[in-house]
Structure 1
């Protein structure tokens, strides 16, 4: 996403010009401005290895904040500007190969950015809102990425939310696995265009009619893929302290295989493969859950795979989207090959009157046809409505095939977040 940046002098000059043209008291200027957002500190440590052939330890500090300013223009029009700050520092990396340890500082991977994450004009009438500009996409197939375009949201029908959007510029988000894809035989991403340079269209319907809830979604990434998803859930509150639920999801992707191939990111110099290495894929999952006197339990099964085990595909465009996604590391719906299926269980207990939850996840199954599992332990603490803390430890292992090394990683994360 291309951003316009002003120098400090230019920003001060622009502000002075605006104030001299139409100065108003501060309290008058902000009386119809709503402020919301968050500030987050996160620390992540990785310890990756494959049968002692290669080991790597790394740590990352991340400081991120997003602040949205919403100004009411009149009874129908409003404007939103959101600023985002992110600073990422990579700590010392210790790596070994054949028993020889190296120590280096990844200063070239440090990252700092300040940008305008949102800038859009909105018009609301009844339960329908139209927004134009840079905004959150909010699709089933995305998490927190932004796009430039038009979105229409309607809640005029009780219990039903309808969404339609068109985005012609997408944020170059690092959680998009297909950013590594290339057009077969070409020397540029997707024949000269990144995945995010293609228009994204979408429609969705979300309904909630107790005890039934559902979602239906269709997205089209122009000249790349069409994505479909459906979710159906039943939730029953037996009493104030006891509830049960079931949820099912199904999704599939339909690719324009004549246009795009897959980028093999391992060899140097790069090696290209044919367009047949991109394939359609499907996903389905079923989950049962229960809450009982502070205990929460969930168990289920999920499966996702391309139409040919040697092809690459995705069902979620950015991050995990709204798909059922237990664990922290093993599952990736944005770029996968082979057969992937898992049984999983999630359990937790919230200590009464403390805001402390202790929990665990466990997954066991196949990753690209190889035996794999992940175990996660979690602790979270909600100090109040605005301040929360969480930490987790995750270990996963994927068995090597035909004598190859096992893939393992241990990850620890701590996070503090203040929302306002």
Structure 2
């Protein structure tokens, strides 16, 4: 018998050809995969009028934010599907933000840096099962509750049913929540996930929600329990009536009550009402809102406790301003960081013509200023914005907002400029 010698390289080549021969063709592998997502660029510039100055002689801070999110949804069979979402997020400095000084004023760091090392990360990865009008998903996924702004991920189980016409029912349980600074707005969620404040609480999130739409009336009801921290009870009722094709009248009211379950948390509530109209491309709305917490400085028992009516950012609660009750004061002014009594009135207007949009608004009231460390400060903001819808997928937005806190002869001002370009696919 003749024995033929085969080199290692030949064996590797034969193995590769064998793998290729048995592999699923690319065209077949991707034919049941849906691709969606967006790419977004943001430039943000903040100017703060304050005495302390650590930014090379200026109170300006600015940055370029780059974000891309890509979701792959693959049909496994008639009922099962899988979703994988990849996310890239990076921020580059602008305007000498990164200059740092020691206690003697000596420079200890360089200037702004371009981030080229961030990579794509797994944002969502879950398995889904759909039967009739009910979908069950398990894994890492966006929680999408009434109390967050739609970009927070959690690990758990969610069921959504639309079996009843006009009604969407949701039940979910998550035993882990995201702590990425790319998505978190306000201090609360970081405190829950990344500090020892609630080390003695499981902090699992359990959620029940109902959304109904029966023209011209719609409503939302939501209960969120952060285990052994607090339970949020919220509701929204809205009315929208088209008088003609060019005239619309609308009204919306919201209420949230936060019932504390932890010694470091105080009860809080939020309510708001907004009335508006749309007339031949023009839009106008006005309203009033209050949010209060039982943690005032003069309350010896509860002062210093955490209070909130949203989990992240301001959730889906009415927030007419750009930065006043949000990014102002180091992002401490969100509804997830309430202190004392706060009340505001507001007006907003806008006009859309073809692909262009213009808008402006004003909010004024009294509430806690974290920048001044004072309760019942006079607070206000005005803003102006412009948008351009180049196509269904590509949109541009820019706005300018100026906010001010004032009390006892002290004041704090913060102005923000934002430009955004977003491509959706």
TM-score, with normalisation over the residues of structure 1? 0.83
Equivalent-residue separation in structure 1 for 2:290 and 2:173 (angstroms):
30
2:66 is the alignment partner of 1:63: yes
2:323 is aligned, of 329, 338, 345, to: 329
Equivalent-residue separation in structure 2 for 1:21 and 1:147 (angstroms):
40
More displaced stretch, 331-340 vs 198-207? 331-340
2:166 corresponds to: 159
TM-score, with normalisation over the residues of structure 2? 0.82
SS of 1:27's equivalent? helix
Please tell me whether the aligned partners of residues 267 and 307 of structure 2 are also in contact (alpha carbons under 8 angstroms).
Answer: yes
2:83 is the alignment partner of 1:76: no
> CA-atom RMSD, angstroms?
2.7
Equivalent-residue separation in structure 2 for 1:76 and 1:334 (angstroms):
38
Equivalent-residue separation in structure 1 for 2:169 and 2:384 (angstroms):
37
Matches for 1:55-134 after TM superposition, within 5 Å? 56-91=59-94, 92-93=96-97, 105=111, 112-134=118-140
2:413 is aligned, of 386, 400, 408, to: 408
Cα distance change, pair 110–171 in 1 and its aligned pair in 2 (3 A): farther
2:352 corresponds to: 350
Equivalent-residue separation in structure 2 for 1:367 and 1:393 (angstroms):
22
Cα distance change, pair 29–111 in 1 and its aligned pair in 2 (3 A): closer
Please tell me whether the aligned partners of residues 295 and 307 of structure 2 are also in contact (alpha carbons under 8 angstroms).
Answer: no
Matches for 1:146-225 after TM superposition, within 5 Å? 146-173=153-180, 174-179=184-189, 181=191, 189-192=196-199, 198-225=203-230
What's the CA shift for 1:241? 0.5
Equivalent-residue separation in structure 2 for 1:19 and 1:333 (angstroms):
56
Matches for 1:231-380 after TM superposition, within 5 Å? 231-258=236-263, 260=264, 278-310=265-297, 311=303, 312-331=306-325, 332-351=334-353, 353=354, 355-368=355-368, 369-380=376-387
Cα distance change, pair 204–111 in 1 and its aligned pair in 2 (3 A): farther
Equivalent-residue separation in structure 2 for 1:18 and 1:191 (angstroms):
55
Cα distance change, pair 213–119 in 1 and its aligned pair in 2 (3 A): same
Cα distance change, pair 182–42 in 1 and its aligned pair in 2 (3 A): closer
Equivalent-residue separation in structure 1 for 2:30 and 2:275 (angstroms):
47
Equivalent-residue separation in structure 2 for 1:382 and 1:236 (angstroms):
26
Task: Name the structure with the higher strand share.
Answer: 1
Equivalent-residue separation in structure 2 for 1:336 and 1:108 (angstroms):
35
Cα distance change, pair 17–68 in 1 and its aligned pair in 2 (3 A): farther
Deviations, residues 308-347 of structure 1 (Å, cap 9, x unaligned)? 4234411000111110111111111111212111100110
More displaced stretch, 311-320 vs 235-244? 311-320
1:135 is aligned, of 141, 153, 171, to: 141
Deviations, residues 200-237 of structure 1 (Å, cap 9, x unaligned)? 00000000001110000000011111111100001100
What's the CA shift for 1:23? 0.9
More displaced stretch, 291-300 vs 174-183? 174-183
Cα distance change, pair 128–21 in 1 and its aligned pair in 2 (3 A): farther
2:28 is the alignment partner of 1:25: no
Please tell me whether the aligned partners of residues 252 and 283 of structure 1 are also in contact (alpha carbons under 8 angstroms).
Answer: yes
Equivalent-residue separation in structure 1 for 2:110 and 2:395 (angstroms):
34
Cα distance change, pair 249–190 in 1 and its aligned pair in 2 (3 A): same
Equivalent-residue separation in structure 2 for 1:231 and 1:175 (angstroms):
22
After the TM superposition, which parts of structure 1 deviate over 4 Å for at least 4 consecutive aligned residues?
16-22, 52-55, 100-104, 106-111, 179-183
Please tell me whether the aligned partners of residues 48 and 409 of structure 1 are also in contact (alpha carbons under 8 angstroms).
Answer: yes
Cα distance change, pair 18–166 in 1 and its aligned pair in 2 (3 A): farther
Point out where structure 1 has 5 or more consecutive residues left out of the alignment: 1-15, 261-277
SS of 1:29's equivalent? helix
Equivalent-residue separation in structure 2 for 1:256 and 1:120 (angstroms):
31
1:395 corresponds to: 402
More displaced stretch, 312-321 vs 110-119? 110-119
What's the CA shift for 1:402? 3.2
Equivalent-residue separation in structure 1 for 2:243 and 2:21 (angstroms):
62
Deviations, residues 14-51 of structure 1 (Å, cap 9, x unaligned)? xx99965951111101111100000000000011112x
Number of equivalences = 374
SS of 1:190's equivalent? coil
